[in-house]
Amino acid sequence: MKALIVEDEEYSAIELKYLLKKVDKNIKVIGIINSGQKALNIVKKLNPDVVFLDIKLNDLNGLEIAKSLLSLDEGIKIIFTTAYDEYAVKAFELNALDYVLKPFSEERLKKTIEKIKRNNEVETAGLGKKFEEVKKLPVKSDSKLIFIDIDEIIYIEAEGRNSIIKTANGIYKSLYSLKDIEERLKNNCFFRVHKSYIINLKKIREIIPWFNNTYLIKLSGCEGIEIPVSKNKANELKSILNI
């Protein structure tokens, strides 16, 4: 995590840098800036993840600096640092992530870092959900990462803890387990017919009675392959297909 400190009191800046490194060794303080204007001029170059911003600076008001920083990068995290608590409401109106009063303490900064990490996790989860809505499944092929349109998938087969994905264009190995893929595809037209197979229901070409109330399925796009339907999945499949 890259942190930028904007603070015109040298002692406070040094103390904050020291405590941040003590709280979390993964925090890299990439700069200490003693004026708001310098911060605005350099923030694009440094590209920090979080800015610890003093509200009362000699040249510019920290609240106005925060507005400008957020206009440059909406994803930047702003942590206000100040000896005054009367600006807290205005700070949070700007969607500041936290408001830390001086003098700094290790325990208080621990809570701030935890808040930043939780916020990052929420944002990452949100991006993951958006990606799933794009209807693509990432798989590794050699040293590359390929994104498969899920409509092209014919079936997925378990291979140990990983999976094999069969499409009209080829066969791909995935590091996801069959359970993981089942979860990713749950709102789409896929069904787990067997502990080792997930099929694309749109690709069903033929259902063949087998033995003991089980079935074999032939799918379009993979001649000569018959996918077994386990006994405990047969009735659910028939219900889905209205047969």
Q: What is the CATH number of the domain that holds 166?
A: 2.40.50.1020
Question: What would the two tokens of residue 173 be?
Answer: 């190995």
Pair 14, 69 in one domain: yes
Q: pLDDT digit string (tens) for 152-162?
A: 999 999 998 88
**Domain boundary, last residue among 106, 131, 156:** 131
Pair 147, 218 in one domain: yes
pLDDT value at residue 128: 53
CB 73 within 8 A of CB 43: yes
Per-residue pLDDT, averaged over 71-88, amounts to: 84
Q: Are strands 98-101 and 136-141 parallel, antiparallel or unpaired?
A: unpaired
Domain that residue 27 falls in: 2-131
**Domain boundary, last residue among 98, 131, 164:** 131
Question: What would the two tokens of residue 121 be?
Answer: 């996790």
pLDDT value at residue 145: 79
- Counting the structural domains of the chain, the total is 2
